[in-house]
Structure 1
Amino acid sequence: MDLRQVEYFVAVVDHGGVTKAAEALFLAQPSLSQAVRQLERELGAELFDRTGRHLVLTAAGRS
């Protein structure tokens, strides 16, 4: 885990989604999604419940 991944995670939470966070960070949306998924793999926990087009923080994500 590195600081960049944490920054990306916080941006997704703050902006309410990956697309808006990617725009704010001047990143491509797939790159941001991949970084968040990598963070989840490294932590061994899903941080978001991905239901449909919405992201909802899981208990692990809130922690």
Structure 2
Amino acid sequence: MTQHSPKTPPSESASATPETPAALIIQALTGLRFGSVEITVHEGRVVQIERREKFRPQAAT
């Protein structure tokens, strides 16, 4: 996550990317068919988001 000092306003490119924890979680879930998303929280703040994706081959017919 990008943090800006009060003196430096965020650039347009930084504000265009999702940086809120909820937006990052949604991004991790997007397109996930089989797998999991793990959210690590320390002292009430989301500090890590892990995405594990599983690929299942089609059964031979």
Taking structure 2 as the reference length, the TM-score comes to 0.29
Q: Greater strand share, 1 or 2?
A: 2
Taking structure 1 as the reference length, the TM-score comes to 0.29
Greater Rg over alpha carbons, structure = 2
